[in-house]
Chains A and B, each alone.
Chain A
Amino acid sequence: EDQVTQSPEALRLQEGESSSLNCSYTVSGLRGLFWYRQDPGKGPEFLFTLYSAGEEKEKERLKATLTKKESFLHITAPKPEDSATYLCAVQANNQGGKLIFGQGTELSVKP
């Protein structure tokens, strides 16, 4: 069964304190791994797609990496506006584009 597990469930950082969020997955043929950001009361906002092990993508203070079993979202020198829930999802081959989501990591960055 395809599955996504994110850790930690919650993470509290001081402004400027870098850290990483983890997404472990099991999937029968990975087509893509997706990272989304979700603010309270809003829909998930697309951040990155990773397709193969070794791939990395960056956007401002965020960098996503992918191995055959997990993905990391590295946050460098975070700011309070980075506070949100970060969701990881996998898309399997031959599944019509379905996304299977993890439970998310709630990030809080204090000034």
Chain B
Amino acid sequence: DARVTQTPRHKVTEMGQEVTMRCQPILGHNTVFWYRQTMMQGLELLAYFRNRAPLDDSGMPKDRFSAEMPDATLATLKIQPSEPRDSAVYFCASGPPADTQYFGPGTRLTVL
């Protein structure tokens, strides 16, 4: 049963620290998305990649967030420095181009 995996599942950190979240997309999926979910804003797209190339990162605060795909099996989302307002659940999703997206279990981030 192919699934998107994310690590860590939970992260508590202090303001100003660097946070790195990792995602392993489903094998064979060439499109990877990063979303953030909060009670106030719901699910928001941060960035996405196709064939490891970034296509759109307009949803990310550019000064502190960065997203990369070092290889086809790993996507990373970094926040440096982290702020309390970054507290949220971050989801990775993967899928074929312009088709159904399959979500991972999420990383719950708390910035104190």
Contact = CB atoms under 8 A, between A and B. Distances in A.
Q: Do A and B come from one complex?
A: yes
Interface string B57-76: 00000000000000000000
A55 B43 CA distance: 26
B98 A96 contact: yes
A101 B42 contact: yes
A104 interface: yes
A99 to B, nearest CB: 6
Interface residues of A, number: 21
A98 interface: yes
Contacts of B101: 34, 46, 97, 99
Contacts of B99: 49, 97
A34 to B, nearest CB: 7
Contacts of B105: 42-43
A97 B91 contact: no
B50 A96 contact: yes
Interface string B71-112: 000000000000000000001010101111111111000000
A59 to B, nearest CB: 14
A46 B97 contact: no
A99 B56 CA distance: 12
A98 B106 contact: no
Contacts of A98: 33, 45, 48, 56
Nearest to B40: A103
B100 A49 contact: yes
A46 B93 CA distance: 11
Given A96-B55, A98-B48, A44 B97 contact: no
Interface of B: 4, 31, 33, 42-45, 48, 50, 55-56, 91, 93, 95, 97-106
11 contacts: A34-B100, A34-B101, A43-B104, A43-B106, A46-B100, A46-B102, A89-B43, A96-B48, A96-B55, A97-B95, A97-B97
